[in-house]
Amino acid sequence: MQQLGRHILVEMYNCDKEILNNHKLIEGYMNEAAEKSGATIVQSVFHMFNPWGVSGAVIIQESHLTIHTWPEYGYAAIDLFTCGDSVDPWIGLDYLKTMLKSNKIEIKDIIRGETSKIRYFSNERFQNMHFKPINLEENND
């Protein structure tokens, strides 16, 4: 395995302003994007700002999705940070682009936890490196 996680940073332009300002819709789309990507949702937290804009995060067993919207500019900053081979964040991204009605996006696809660097910088020798185990601890309190 080359990396523990992959992190897709999306600049989404020319979105539907009404949708960007509806935190219930945005939360629904973000959760749906997580599920369509094959992720398992742990918790979803979304907030509406005054006078406009939505911020939220979907914590998934395979890391997270976040969004911040500026309805007044038709712009949203979206992150899809995932681990493991069973999740395909590009499916979720495609879904979000459609639902937010964007006609222009820009993407950065960034490696997180490059295993060769972890080995190089560490004082230990790691053998088989794996991404985060995906069993959620039952008792979080």
- Count residues near its own copies (CB under 8 A): 60
Catalytic-residue membership of 83: yes
- Give the span between the Cα atoms of 134 and 31, in whole angstroms: 18
Residue 1 lies near its own copies (rule: CB under 8 A) = no
Backbone angles phi, psi at 52, to 5 degrees: -160, 165
Residue 92 lies near its own copies (rule: CB under 8 A) = no
Residue 43 lies near its own copies (rule: CB under 8 A) = yes
Instruction: Provide, rounded to whole angstroms, the least separation between the CB of residue 48 and its own copies.
Output: 4
Catalytic-residue membership of 68: yes
First to last CA, the chain: 33
Strands in 3-13's sheet, in edge-to-edge order, are 54-60, 63-70, 75-83, 3-13, 104-114
- Give the span between the Cα atoms of 60 and 31, in whole angstroms: 10
Cβ atoms < 10 Å from Cβ of 122: 9
Catalytic-residue membership of 116: no
Q: Which two tokens stand for residue 44?
A: 């979803």
Residue 97 lies near its own copies (rule: CB under 8 A) = no
Using CB under 8 A as the criterion, what x/- string covers residues 48-87 for binding its own copies?
Answer: xxxxxx-xxx-x-x-xx-x-x-x-xxxx-x-x-x-x----
- The radius of gyration of the chain from alpha carbons, rounded to an integer in Å, stands at 17
Q: Would you tell me which residues interact with its own copies (CB under 8 A)?
A: 4-5, 7, 9, 11, 13-14, 23, 42-43, 45-53, 55-57, 59, 61, 63-64, 66, 68, 70, 72-75, 77, 79, 81, 83, 104, 106, 108, 110, 112-114, 117-118, 121-124, 126, 129, 132-138, 140
Active-site residues: which are they?
A: 63, 68, 83
